[in-house]
Structure 1
Amino acid sequence: MPVSEYVRSLRERIGASYLLLPGVTAVFRDDDRFLLARQGDSGRWSLIGGGIEPGEDPRAALVREVREELGVGSDVIRIIGAYGGAALENVYPNGDRVGYVTVAYLCSLRTSSLTLDEDEVLETRWATLAEIAELDHHEWIDQVLTDATR
């Protein structure tokens, strides 16, 4: 995944030290199924999302991330919740340490015809919670999807 200029500038100053970064996550639901994306960097299944740039409104960041990764417009319906902690911490292969705090939003797609950013998203699929449990996925999304069903 490409590194934003903001994170790149911070890394120049602090090296691989731990960074806490804000993010947004899109949850697309169709009855009992959820849209998943298999990530280009890890090959694992997750939800669409990414970082919030300095001065960017979180909803605008979400719409931007969906457009970048799926090539479609989206509408934000409501906030599902905020997530962070150990489950959203990562050490990248280059040694950079990061923790994310993400706000998850229930969203709708404006079209079903997706154009994937193949550097970030290898493929997408709709899956039920039971099917997701069988996939190699980021565990933190389990709580997000459970909360989305409430």
Structure 2
Amino acid sequence: MATPDFIKAVRATAGHQLLHLPGITAVVFDDEGRVLLVRRSDNGRWTLCGGIPEPGEQPGVAAVREVYEETAVECVAERVVLVAAEPQPVVYPNGDECQYMNITFRCRATGGEARVNDDESTEVGWFPLDTLPPLTEAEVFRIKQALTDEPTWFATMPAH
């Protein structure tokens, strides 16, 4: 995934040490109830759209921006469905370590044609919920939470 310039500036002095960063995920549905996924160019896995908010950028605005940047799909963020610290740090191929505090939004597509719109993905597609490609357990949970009318999910007990 492309590293934002402000993270590159921090890395210039922090090196590869663990950074705690905000992250957003967008679970985007179309009018047919399909979910929008991208195939990452770095590891070939299908995933939900997401990224890091820019300094001062509101998380919902970042979700909408990331979806458009990655897929050319226009959407609106409807609600927060999940707030969670990722349980394990991500270690990137260059040695950088990051642990994300993720805010997941349910979004509704409003326009645009789904296509690869940057170098972060190799494919983009709409998937019916009963024919999803392999996803992580966390991504499946985010989709399930986005489909419910439950309040925003967050952990109330420390992870063990």
Change (3 A) 1:4 1:118: closer
Q: Quick one: distance in 1 between partners of 2:77 and 2:34?
A: 18
Q: Give the root-mean-square deviation of aligned CA atoms.
A: 1.8
TM-score using structure 2 length: 0.82
Retained in 1: the 8 A contact 2:114–2:124?
A: no
Aligned to 1:8: 8
Cα distance in 2 between the residues matched to 1:81 and 1:10: 27
Aligned to 2:27: 27
Shift of 1:136: 3.6
Alignment of 1:1-150 (within 5 A): 1-30=1-30, 33-86=34-87, 89-132=89-132, 135-150=133-148
Q: How many residues align?
A: 147
User: 1:54 and 1:115, CA in 2 relative to 1: closer, same or farther beyond 3 A?
Assistant: same
Identity of aligned residues (%): 35
Secondary structure of the structure 2 residue equivalent to 1:64: helix
Cα distance in 1 between the residues matched to 2:8 and 2:109: 31
What displacement does 1:78 show?
1.0
Confirm or deny: 8 A CA contact 2:72 2:112 kept in the other structure.
Answer: no
Read off the aligned partner of 1:50 and give its amino acid letter.
G
Which ranges of structure 2 fall in alignment gaps of 5 or more residues?
Answer: 149-160
| Alpha-carbon distance in structure 1 between the residues aligned to 2:16 and 2:7 | 11
Once the two structures are TM-superposed, the CA of residue 141 in structure 1 deviates from its matched residue by: 0.5
Q: Distance in 2 between matches of 1:67 and 1:35?
A: 11
Corresponding letter in the other structure for 2:137: E
- What's the TM-score, normalizing by structure 1? 0.87
Give, as a single letter, the amino acid of the residue that structure 2 aligns with 1:146.
Answer: K
- How far residue 130 of structure 1 moved from its aligned partner, in angstroms, is 4.5
Range that drifts further, 49-58 or 27-36: 27-36
4+ runs deviating over 6 angstroms: none
- Deviation of 1:104 after TM superposition, in Å, equals 0.9
